[in-house]
Amino acid sequence: MKNRSDTAKIRHLNELLSGVGAATLGLGLGSRFSSSIHAIEVPLIIGGMISHAFGMYVVRHIDSKNENLPQWTSIVYWLCWVLLIFLAIYFVINKF
């Protein structure tokens, strides 16, 4: 069984992964408007979406054990999933 310190480390690492994923996704979306890094747009977007989603999921899983979470955290969590799904659908329909 993991002790509290290990769980905190895992949570912090996945917060970092989620943040880096969101930044990478933003870089990928921004590259749609820049010719200098346009060639790596697709890997940035896909990598950013996957790393952000995974990090967000793990942090939420760890936080869900705490019954005192504010309601806004659930709203933001599910809103982020909806936006990621819409973004994925948009890119599939438009074939990047």
Number of CB atoms found within 10 A of residue 24's CB: 20
DSSP 69: -
pLDDT of 49-96, one tens digit each?
999 999 999 999 888 887 788 888 889 999 999 999 998 898 889 875
Q: Which two tokens stand for residue 79?
A: 């809103």
pTM for the model: 0.79
Counting other chains too, the contacts that 59-67 makes at CB distance below 8 Å and 24 or more residues apart are 59/11, 59/14, 59/15, 59/18, 62/7, 62/10, 62/11, 62/14, 63/11
pLDDT of 41-52, one tens digit each?
888 888 999 999
Task: Please state, in angstroms and rounded to a whole number, the distance separating the CA atoms of residues 71 and 5.
Answer: 26
